[in-house]
A and B are shown apart, each in its own frame.
Chain A
Amino acid sequence: MSAQKKLGRFISEYAVVIIFTVITVACIKPSGLSLTYIIQEIITRLGRNSFLVLSLLLPIFAGMGLNFGMTLGAMAGQIGLIFAVDWGIAGWQGLVFAVLVGLPVSLLLGWVCGAVMNKAKGREMVTGYILAFFINGIYQFVVLYMMGSVIPLRSAAITLSRGYGVRNTLNLESVRQSLDTLLMLKIGPFMVPGAAFIVIALLCVFIVWFKKTKLGQDMRAVGQDMAVADAAGIPVERTRIVAILISTVLACIGQIIFLQNMGNLATYNAHDQTGFFAVAAILVGGASVTKANIPNVFVGVILLHAMFIVSPLAGQRLFGSAMIGEYFRQFIGYGVIALSLVLYAWRSRKAIDNARAGLRQGAAGSSGASGAVDANNKGAAK
């Protein structure tokens, strides 16, 4: 392969990463932020977001694309946190309690999501996206009407003044940064939330281990070809449901980690953008709809959030308005998803075309060879 072709292939494969790196590096200077500040912010955001983004990996292994249905897990996590706050459970104990409450809910929602996706094979991403809207309606109904009326709430501080329903914004002061501060390490000028990183590292170890298990291998087989996996005796639908179940449960825990770092919960829309930003992060990290790994997650979170940190200030300095940076953030988030999907479609089509061309050449070559054999045979007969 020529050097030019190699370069072209590299650029097409890592287009999103390259674009992001260039934009982010270009924005650092105009933003006026010190490198120490940017790195500290990235460390904080790595601890906050990595778990959520890691939850996307297993469905990609199982060939189900980017799991926009992870929003369902995020909702389950929020329900857990609502109960932890309502029952006045503070600190890391509150987080564990929220996970324990959210877990059954996320399992149920994950099963529903997996079952629906099995009915929409090949259209999992858009199905997950729309399913999240549907479940969001049920979530709103439960939190706005059933909590405080059918489901008892103890705390008047989180109940709407009408007597039922949860307030629009919950103060998570009781559990705020309780995981981050559990083991805060000072490395040079940086504060590193050690406990959060330990939890993330454990998840990475789990993912590496899981890929080597029978179920993990089945998942990869299903991801490569469902028909072949089915012929090999792998329960395809069950394996796909398990992938979504694990992803939803991880998203539940990830949302709890995310919100404990933020310190407040926008009850009715905190989960809206969860899937969107997680997907954007993993795509920015160089993953695609069919291929992703752990480094993609960390590269993506670092790049996406580095841009989120510098772009508002760069926008303010360059154009006189911080809103430009905010628009830019939204534009880039959606843009990167669109670009990745377009590149994926383009690459898939190109691969199909190349395969067809290869087949045609092979057929032409083999027909030419058979002609020569026939001529030789005829010659020999003479």
Chain B
Amino acid sequence: MSAVPASKTRKMVVRGLLLVVYVGLAAFMLLIGRQHTILIDNKSAEDGSYEAIDGILVSVDGKEGAEYYSGDRDKATVQGQSHKIRIEVFSDGTVTEKTFKVPLWEDMTILSVPKLLAGIEPFNEKFVPLTVVLPAEDQQQYTSLPAEEPAAEGVLEELLPVLSQ
């Protein structure tokens, strides 16, 4: 078996390395550039385990903050996986800062501020939008026009004498 010349091997190694760098750069851009939507939620738990806070200023990654009152929900758009949230409570002026991570392929995450302040983990989780499945008869109602109903029996007979007058 003939040996591969050293220059050819070096060329192949360099090309291989370049390919690795190329793919690595694309992966790095994906990691640092991936955009996520964070739904910032200020609602009480249904079981009463935590209560919504009336009046807070929330900012994510040092961006301009937004005011939230009890029952409010808004969104923030962020890039990358690791983020810092800053919460300022109006009533006592306390400031809480916390770091959290969003998984790479999670487009939308919901972050509960009352949970975070109450120290309940995890305070952020994947947001799954509600899907409403209509009952079969309701679907029928929206997908096709109602069939023409036959005239009630006997009505025509009653009307005919009236119309003929």
B30 contacts which of A89, A91, A174 (Cβ < 8 Å)? A89
Instruction: Tell me if B72 is interfacial: C-beta within 8 Å of chain A.
Output: no
Instruction: Tell me if A94 is interfacial: C-beta within 8 Å of chain B.
Output: yes
Instruction: Tell me if B127 is interfacial: C-beta within 8 Å of chain A.
Output: no
Number of B residues with CB within 8 Å of any CB on chain A: 13
Instruction: Tell me if B13 is interfacial: C-beta within 8 Å of chain A.
Output: no
A94 touches B25 (CB 8 A): no
Q: How far is the CA of A93 from the CA of B79 in the complex (A)?
A: 10
18 more CB-based (< 8 A) A-B contacts, given A89-B30, A97-B33: A87-B30, A87-B34, A88-B34, A89-B29, A89-B33, A90-B33, A90-B79, A91-B33, A93-B79, A94-B29, A96-B25, A96-B29, A96-B33, A97-B30, A100-B25, A100-B29, A101-B26, A174-B35
| B34 contacts across to A, CB distance below 8 A | 87-90
Cβ contacts B50-68/A at 8 Å (1 or 0 each): 0000000000000000000
The residues of A with any CB-CB pair to B shorter than 8 Å are: 87-94, 96-97, 100-101, 174
Cβ contacts B31-53/A at 8 Å (1 or 0 each): 01111100000000000000000
| B22 contacts across to A, CB distance below 8 A | 100
| A96 contacts across to B, CB distance below 8 A | 25, 29, 33
What's the nearest-Cβ distance from chain A to residue B20, in Å? 13
Taking CB as reference atom, which chain A residue is nearest B23?
A: A100
The residues of B with any CB-CB pair to A shorter than 8 Å are: 22, 25-26, 29-30, 32-36, 77, 79, 107
| B35 contacts across to A, CB distance below 8 A | 88-90, 174
| B32 contacts across to A, CB distance below 8 A | 93
> Lowest 10 A-B CB distances belong to which pairs?
A93-B33, A90-B35, A89-B33, A97-B29, A100-B26, A93-B29, A88-B35, A96-B29, A94-B33, A90-B79
A91 touches B79 (CB 8 A): yes
Taking CB as reference atom, which chain A residue is nearest B35?
A: A90
Q: How far is the CA of A94 from the CA of B107 in the complex (A)?
A: 16
| A91 contacts across to B, CB distance below 8 A | 33, 79
Residue among A87, A93, A94 with max Cβ neighbours from chain B (10 Å): A93
Taking CB as reference atom, which chain B residue is nearest A85?
A: B35
Q: How far is the CA of A38 from the CA of B94 in the complex (A)?
A: 51
What's the nearest-Cβ distance from chain A to residue B86, in Å? 22
Residue among B30, B36, B77 with max Cβ neighbours from chain A (10 Å): B30
What's the nearest-Cβ distance from chain B to residue A106, in Å? 14
Q: How far is the CA of A87 from the CA of B29 in the complex (A)?
A: 11
| A89 contacts across to B, CB distance below 8 A | 29-30, 33-35
| B107 contacts across to A, CB distance below 8 A | 88
